[in-house]
Amino acid sequence: MKIKDSMSRKVFNVFNIVVLSLVTLSCVLPILHILALSLSDSTAAAAGKVSFYPINFSLEAYKYLIEKKDFFNSVGISVLRVVIGSVINMFLIVLTAYPLSKSSVNFKHRNKYMIFFAITMFIGGGLIPTYMVIKSLNLLNSFWVLILPGAVSIWNVIIMMNFFRGIPHAMEEAAAIDGASHWQILFQVFLPMSLPALASLLLFTMIGHWNSWFDGMFYMNSPEKYPMATFLATQIINNNKNITNMTPEQLAAMNALSDKSIRSSQLFLSIIPILIVYPFLQRFFIKGIVVGSVKE
Amino acid sequence: MKAKTKNDLYQAKALHIMLLPAVILTLIFAYLPLGGIVMAFQEFKPLMGFIDSKWVGFEQFAYIFSMPSFWNALRNTFIIAFFKITLSILVPLVLALLLNELIGQKFKRLVQTTIFIPYFFSWAILGGMIIEIFAYDGAINHFINLLGGESIPFLVSNDWFREIIIGTDVWKGMGYNTVLFLAAITNVDPTLYEAAMVDGAGRWKQLLKITIPCISGMVILLTILGLGGILNAGFEQIFILYNPIVEQTVDIIDTFVYRLGIISTQYSAAAAAGLFKSIVSMVFVGVSYWIAYKTTDYRVF
Amino acid sequence: MRKHIAILLIGVLFSVGVVGCASKDVATTNTNQSTTNSGKTAEELLVEKYEEPVKVKVVLGYRDPENPDTPDSVTPETQTAVKLLKEELNIELEYSWIVNSDQYSQKFGAELAAGNLPDIMMLSMEQFEDLQSQGGLGDLTEAYEQYRTDDIDAIINYDGQVLDTCRKDGKLYGLYNGTYQGQVTSQIYYDMNKLKELGIEEVSDLPTTIAEFEALCDKLMALDLDGNGKVGDPVLPAAKGMNSGLADFGAFFQAYETALGGWYDDGNGNLISSHTQENMKKALTKLNEWYDKGYFAKDFAAQDVYAANAPIVSDIVAGKYAIIPGSWWIPNWPLNDNKKNDPDADWVVGPTLTVDGAAPTILVPRISSGTIVAVSKDFKNPEALFKMMNWSLNYEAKIANPEYKENMTPEQKLEADSYVYTWLPYRVYAPMSLIDNYNFISEADKVGKTEITAEEAPANSEFWGAWNAYLQMKNGSTDPVVWGLYTSRVSPNGGVAQMYELYSKSEKWINEVYVTTPTMIKKQGELDKYETTTFLSMVMGETPISDFDKFVAQWEQLGGSEIQAEVNEWYKNK
pLDDT band at A47 (very low <50, low <70, confident <90, very high): low
- C66 in contact with chain A, both atoms CB, cutoff 8 A: yes
Neighbours of C407 (CB within 10 A): 8
- Could you tell me the CATH number of the domain that includes residue A246? 1.10.3720.10
The mean predicted confidence, pLDDT, of chain A is 83
pLDDT band at B10 (very low <50, low <70, confident <90, very high): low
- C116 in contact with chain A, both atoms CB, cutoff 8 A: yes
**A68 vs C contacts (CB less than 8 Å):** 72
Select from B11, B21, B35 the Cβ nearest to the Cβ of A125: B35
Looking at per-residue pLDDT, the higher value among B23 and C124 belongs to B23
Number of helices and strands in chain C (H, E):
23, 14
- Inspect the interface and report whether the beta carbons of B245 and C136 lie closer than 8 Å: no
Q: Is residue C151 over pLDDT 50?
A: yes
pLDDT band at B9 (very low <50, low <70, confident <90, very high): low
**B221 vs A contacts (CB less than 8 Å):** 294
As a whole number, mean pLDDT of residues A253-261 equals 55
Give me the DSSP letters along chain A: --SPPPHHHHHHHHHHHHHHHHHHHHHHHHHHHHHHHHTS-HHHHHTT--SSS-SS---HHHHHHHHH-HHHHHHHHHHHHHHHHHHHHHHHHHHHHHHHHS-TTTSTTHHHHHHHHHHHHH----HHHHHHHHHHTT-TTSGGGGTSTTS--HHHHHHHHHHHHTS-HHHHHHHHHTT--HHHIIIIIIHHHTHHHHHHHHHHHHHHHHH--HHHHHH-SSGGG--HHHHHHHHHHHHHSSGGGS-HHHHHHHHHH--HHHHHHHHHHHHHHHHHHHHHHHHHHHHHHHHHH---
In a domain, B84, yes or no: yes
Select from A13, A26, A211 the Cβ nearest to the Cβ of B122: A211
> Does residue A49 share a domain with residue A73?
no
Length of chain B: 301
* pLDDT number for residue B190: 84
Q: How many domains does chain A have?
A: 2
CATH 3.40.190.10 residue window(s) in chain C: 27-180+369-422, 183-365+509-572
Our CA-based measurement puts residue A168 at a distance from the nearest CA of chain B, in whole angstroms, of 18
In a domain, B248, yes or no: yes
Q: Which of B211-220, C369-378, C442-451 has the lowest mean pLDDT?
A: B211-220
Report the candidate in A232, A267, A264 with the shortest Cα–Cα distance to residue A54: A264
Give me the DSSP letters along B57-115: TTHHHHHHHT-HHHHHHHHHHHHHHHHHHHHHHHHHHHHHHHHHH---HHHHHHHHHHH
Most confident range, picked from A35-39, A106-110, B82-86: B82-86
Residues within 8 A of B (CB atoms), A 58-87 only: none
As a whole number, mean pLDDT of residues C206-235 equals 89
Which of helix, strand or coil describes residue B268? helix
* pLDDT number for residue A291: 56
User: What is the sign, positive or negative, of the torsion defined by CA atoms of A286, A287, A288, A290?
Assistant: positive
Our CA-based measurement puts residue C122 at a distance from the nearest CA of chain B, in whole angstroms, of 15
Query: What is the maximum span of chain C, computed from C-alpha positions, in angstroms?
Result: 79
Which superfamily does CATH assign the domain made up of C27-180+369-422 to?
Answer: Periplasmic binding protein-like II (3.40.190.10)
d(C-alpha B218, C-alpha B215), whole Å: 5
* pLDDT number for residue C263: 92
* pLDDT number for residue B157: 78
Give me the DSSP letters along B128-193: HHHHHHHSTTSHHHHHHHHTTPPP--GGG-TTTHHHHHHHHHHHHHHHHHHHHHHHHHHTS-HHHH
- The interaxial angle of helices A7-38 and B123-134, nearest 10 deg, is 100
All residues at 6 or more sequence positions from A36 whose CB lies less than 8 Å from its CB, including other chains: A50, A51, A52, A53, A54, A55
Q: Which residue in chain C is spatially nearest to B247 when comparing CA positions? A: C529
The amino acid at C403: E
> Does residue B73 share a domain with residue B183?
yes
Pairing of strands C187-191, C347-349: antiparallel
Q: Is the CB of residue C285 less than 8 Å from the CB of residue C531? A: no
> Does residue A97 share a domain with residue A74?
yes
Which of helix, strand or coil describes residue C103? helix
Select from A127, A248, A253 the Cβ nearest to the Cβ of C246: A248
User: What's the predicted TM-score (pTM) here?
Assistant: 0.83
d(C-alpha A276, C-alpha C184), whole Å: 56
All residues at 6 or more sequence positions from B29 whose CB lies less than 8 Å from its CB, including other chains: A130, A133, A148, A149, A152
Q: Which residue in chain B is spatially nearest to C130 when comparing CA positions? A: B45
Pairing of strands C362-365, C508-511: parallel
* pLDDT number for residue C12: 32
Query: What is the maximum span of chain A, computed from C-alpha positions, in angstroms?
Result: 78
Among A43, A58, A73, the domain-final residue is A58
Report the candidate in C388, C389, C378, C373 with the shortest Cα–Cα distance to residue C138: C378
The DSSP bridge partners found for residue C374 are C121
Q: Is residue A72 over pLDDT 80?
A: yes
As a whole number, mean pLDDT of residues A195-211 equals 88
In a domain, B152, yes or no: yes
- B138 in contact with chain A, both atoms CB, cutoff 8 A: yes
> Does residue A21 share a domain with residue A118?
no
As a whole number, mean pLDDT of residues A103-120 equals 89
Q: Is residue A250 over pLDDT 60?
A: no
Percent of chain B exceeding pLDDT 70 equals 96
All residues at 6 or more sequence positions from B176 whose CB lies less than 8 Å from its CB, including other chains: A289, B92, B116, B119
Q: Is residue A188 over pLDDT 70?
A: yes
Each residue of C168-184: b (16+ CB within 10 Å) or e? eeeebbbbbbbbbbbbb
Our CA-based measurement puts residue B193 at a distance from the nearest CA of chain A, in whole angstroms, of 13
Which residue range(s) make up the domain with A33?
1-58
Most confident range, picked from A103-112, A118-127, B287-296, C269-278: C269-278
Looking at per-residue pLDDT, the higher value among C279 and B264 belongs to C279
* pLDDT number for residue A197: 85
- Could you tell me the CATH number of the domain that includes residue B99? 1.10.3720.10
- The interaxial angle of helices B161-186 and A260-293, nearest 10 deg, is 40
- B281 in contact with chain A, both atoms CB, cutoff 8 A: yes
Q: Is residue C394 over pLDDT 50?
A: yes
Bond prior to C343 in cis (omega within 30° of 0): no
Neighbours of B199 (CB within 10 A): 10
In a domain, B60, yes or no: no
Question: For every residue of C172-209, which 3-state class applies, written as one string?
Answer: ECCEEECCCHHHHCCEEEEEHHHHHHHCCCCHHHCCCE
> Does residue B132 share a domain with residue B33?
no
In a domain, B214, yes or no: yes
d(C-alpha C249, C-alpha C244), whole Å: 9
* pLDDT number for residue C26: 35
> Does residue B128 share a domain with residue B96?
yes
Looking at per-residue pLDDT, the higher value among C430 and A253 belongs to C430
d(C-alpha B286, C-alpha A215), whole Å: 28
The mean predicted confidence, pLDDT, of chain C is 85
> Does residue B154 share a domain with residue B50?
no
Q: Is the CB of residue C344 less than 8 Å from the CB of residue C193? A: yes
All residues at 6 or more sequence positions from C351 whose CB lies less than 8 Å from its CB, including other chains: C203, C206, C207, C208
Among B28, B55, B82, the domain-final residue is B55
**In degrees rounded to 5, what are phi and psi of residue A260?**
-60, -40
* pLDDT number for residue A296: 33
In a domain, B175, yes or no: yes
Q: Which of A14-28, A182-196, A203-217, C222-236 has the lowest mean pLDDT?
A: C222-236
Give me the DSSP letters along C126-157: HHHHHHHHTT-BPP-HHHHHHH--HHHHHHHT
Give tens-digit pLDDT for B153-183. Answer: 787 778 899 999 999 999 999 998 898 888 8
> Does residue B240 share a domain with residue B218?
yes
Among B32, B55, B78, the domain-final residue is B55
Q: Is residue C254 over pLDDT 70?
A: yes
> Does residue A182 share a domain with residue A93?
yes
Q: Is residue C236 over pLDDT 50?
A: yes
* pLDDT number for residue B6: 47
d(C-alpha C397, C-alpha A10), whole Å: 80
> Does residue B72 share a domain with residue B42?
no
Give the residue from C7, C12, C15 with the most A CB atoms within 10 Å of its CB, the best one to mutate. Answer: C15
Q: Is residue A241 over pLDDT 60?
A: no
- Does C183-365+509-572 carry CATH code 3.40.190.10? yes
Among A9, A28, A58, the domain-final residue is A58
d(C-alpha C267, C-alpha C509), whole Å: 10
Q: How many domains does chain B have?
A: 2
In a domain, B62, yes or no: no
**In degrees rounded to 5, what are phi and psi of residue B3?**
-70, -10
Select from A234, A237, A255 the Cβ nearest to the Cβ of C309: A255
Q: Which of A172-186, A215-229, B215-229, C122-136 has the lowest mean pLDDT?
A: B215-229
Cα B271 to Cα B27, C110, C548: the distances in Å are: 20, 13, 35
All residues at 6 or more sequence positions from A296 whose CB lies less than 8 Å from its CB, including other chains: none
Which residue range(s) make up the domain with B31?
2-55
> Does residue B33 share a domain with residue B85?
no
Q: Is residue A14 over pLDDT 70?
A: yes
In a domain, B24, yes or no: yes
Q: Is residue C9 over pLDDT 60?
A: no
d(C-alpha C218, C-alpha C191), whole Å: 16
Q: Is residue A257 over pLDDT 60?
A: no
- Inspect the interface and report whether the beta carbons of A126 and B36 lie closer than 8 Å: yes
* pLDDT number for residue A256: 42
> Does residue A144 share a domain with residue A97?
yes
Q: Is residue C308 over pLDDT 50?
A: yes
The mean predicted confidence, pLDDT, of chain B is 87
- Inspect the interface and report whether the beta carbons of A221 and C306 lie closer than 8 Å: no
Give tens-digit pLDDT for C403-460. Answer: 787 888 888 887 877 677 778 888 777 888 899 999 999 999 999 998 888 778 887 7
Most confident range, picked from A200-209, C125-134, C283-292, C462-471: C283-292
> Does residue B143 share a domain with residue B100?
yes
* pLDDT number for residue B295: 80
Length of chain A: 296
Our CA-based measurement puts residue B262 at a distance from the nearest CA of chain A, in whole angstroms, of 8
The H or E element containing residue C371 is strand C371-375
> Does residue A24 share a domain with residue A120?
no
> Does residue B145 share a domain with residue B12?
no
Q: Is the CB of residue C464 less than 8 Å from the CB of residue C400? A: yes
Report the candidate in A183, A11, A238, C129 with the shortest Cα–Cα distance to residue B13: A183
Q: Is residue C286 over pLDDT 80?
A: yes
- Inspect the interface and report whether the beta carbons of B156 and C106 lie closer than 8 Å: no
Which subunits count as partners of chain B given 3+ CB pairs below 8 Å?
A, C
